[in-house]
Amino acid sequence: MALRHSVLVTQTLSGAAMQRLHTFFEVEIRIETVVPTRDELAQWLHGKAGVIADTRFIFDAQLVSCLPVLKAICNLDEAHHNLDLPALTSAGIRATSTPGADTTKLAFDAALESAWQLLVPMLQDALPLTGCEGRYNSRWSRKVLLRESVQSMCVGMAGEGALADALTARAQAARVQVIRPGLDEMEDDTPFWGRADVVVCCAAPDKSPAGVTASNIAMMKPFARVLNLAGTSGIAADVMRNDKLLSRITNGDAAMAVSAIANQQLARTDVTAEDLIACLGFGRNSWHPPHLLNPDIACESCC
């Protein structure tokens, strides 16, 4: 049996994409949160014929000169500023990018806006009254109780992922305090769940959500609420069985939107996998992937 090409995958791919890659290649997976240095990346790619990466990984002339076996770099991004195309073309390395990032961004922005529109009223409802006396509204001649500004409120961000990070940035821009479990609990003796006026539960596509338990809610302030953006998997069984506890949880449609975004991103990985297969001379588009960035490169069969 002939030796097969070895390829490197640095991003989470769909099951279908991985199955296709395993059909043709020996696949090594290295998904790291810290971007490797040039020397480390050269070691990762030693003996590899292809790689699926993103714009965090820089492929310049100096790196390419150390990789005589490499023949294909497929970006899982629409952008390709990380690629030195003249150097890649000169070295006979095909490069591709994956279209469709704008569609995913629009879906994510819609999910973020939906979550924010749910969070703000919950903060306003949890605002403490400035005093029992209040004041009279001149137009309606009735007493109106005043509340503090939302800038006095505290949001607890439980869970990880792009939506959690984006919501944190949005809240901080509105001068709302944001705390995270395990990071901001050392400032005083009050636990995370006891400090937050609204706790937001998010989930990254590849991670389990932070579960909301009955003991968590028991530590919360009387008017504090939970905004659940992680779906039913983010709610513990002891809460699901208690209607009183469930009444303190608002479930956001953003959970469905985030799931859709994750599915879109995984679907895009199918495209990237097919590009890599074609770049290395296999599949229906052998040698001629539709998203080739350096089309003047000659293939090894018909050009």
Confidence of residue 89 (pLDDT cuts 50, 70, 90): very high
- When computed from its CA atoms, the radius of gyration of the chain, rounded to whole angstroms, is 25
Confidence of residue 141 (pLDDT cuts 50, 70, 90): very low
pLDDT above 70: percentage of residues in the chain: 81
Which SS3 state, helix, strand or coil, does residue 64 take? helix
Confidence of residue 25 (pLDDT cuts 50, 70, 90): very high
List alpha helices for the chain, DSSP H: 15-24, 38-44, 61-64, 85-90, 101-125, 162-173, 192-195, 214-218, 237-240, 243-246, 254-279
pLDDT by residue (tens digit) across 175-194?
Answer: 899 998 876 554 556 788 99
More confident residue, 47 or 103: 47
Please tell me the predicted confidence (pLDDT) of residue 45.
Answer: 97
**Averaged pLDDT for residues 219-240:** 86
Q: Distance between CA atoms of 42 and 56, rounded to whole angstroms? A: 15
Q: Distance between CA atoms of 223 and 180, rounded to whole angstroms? A: 19
Q: Contact 89/294 with Cβ under 8 angstroms?
A: yes
What's the gap between Cα 243 and its chain centre? 32
Asked if pLDDT for residue 259 goes beyond 70, the answer is no
Please tell me the predicted confidence (pLDDT) of residue 146.
Answer: 44
Please tell me the predicted confidence (pLDDT) of residue 132.
Answer: 45
Please tell me the predicted confidence (pLDDT) of residue 139.
Answer: 44
Q: Distance between CA atoms of 299 and 303, rounded to whole angstroms? A: 5
**Averaged pLDDT for residues 63-72:** 96
Please tell me the predicted confidence (pLDDT) of residue 142.
Answer: 46
pLDDT by residue (tens digit) across 48-62?
Answer: 999 999 999 999 999
Among the ranges given (62-76, 82-96, 134-148, 196-210), the one the predictor scored with the smallest mean pLDDT = 134-148
Q: Contact 210/201 with Cβ under 8 angstroms?
A: yes
**Averaged pLDDT for residues 102-125:** 81
Beta strand 6-9 with 26-29 is parallel
**Averaged pLDDT for residues 69-91:** 94
List alpha helices for 162-291, DSSP H: 162-173, 192-195, 214-218, 237-240, 243-246, 254-279
